[in-house]
């Protein structure tokens, strides 16, 4: 897996005019936390996302040594979705409107 991390590093360093890097499910690569730490120390803003319970572990905070901010994003419920789509939500609807 070390080859994979080095390939990711080459790609990250080849991207011009960006300091934001997004990785999805990177926890499946060995030593990903050290890789993310190196990128962060190199001035990149690194965003790690995924659905794995490994990302919720307290071990991440330890391995990234205070360089992490955990944000849990939940799906919208139907009312929130309508509001997000700027649908006018009224308190009551007539039978025709429903």
pLDDT digits (tens, 9 = 90+) for 51-98: 765 555 555 555 566 666 667 778 889 888 888 899 887 878 888 877
Structural domains counted in the chain: 1
DSSP 90: -
pLDDT band at residue 3, thresholds of 50, 70 and 90? low
Closest by Cα among 96, 72, 97 to 87:
97
Tell me whether residue 74 is in a domain.
Answer: yes
Residue span of the structural domain in which 80 resides: 2-84
First to last CA, the chain: 55
Rounded CA-CA distance 61/57 in Å is 8
pLDDT digits (tens, 9 = 90+) for 23-55: 888 877 877 878 888 888 888 888 887 776 555
Tell me whether residue 53 is in a domain.
Answer: yes
Rounded CA-CA distance 57/30 in Å is 16
């Amino acid at each position: 897996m070390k080859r994979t991390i080095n390939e990711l590093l080459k790609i990250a360093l080849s991207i011009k005019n960006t300091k934001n890097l997004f990785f999805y499910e990177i926890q499946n690569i060995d030593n990903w936390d050290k890789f993310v730490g190196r990128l962060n120390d190199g001035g990149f803003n690194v965003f790690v996302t995924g659905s794995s319970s490994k990302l919720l572990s307290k071990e991440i905070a330890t391995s990234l040594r205070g360089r992490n901010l955990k944000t849990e994003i939940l799906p919208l419920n139907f009312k929130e979705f309508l509001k997000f789509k700027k649908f006018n939500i009224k308190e009551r609807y007539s039978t025709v409107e429903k």
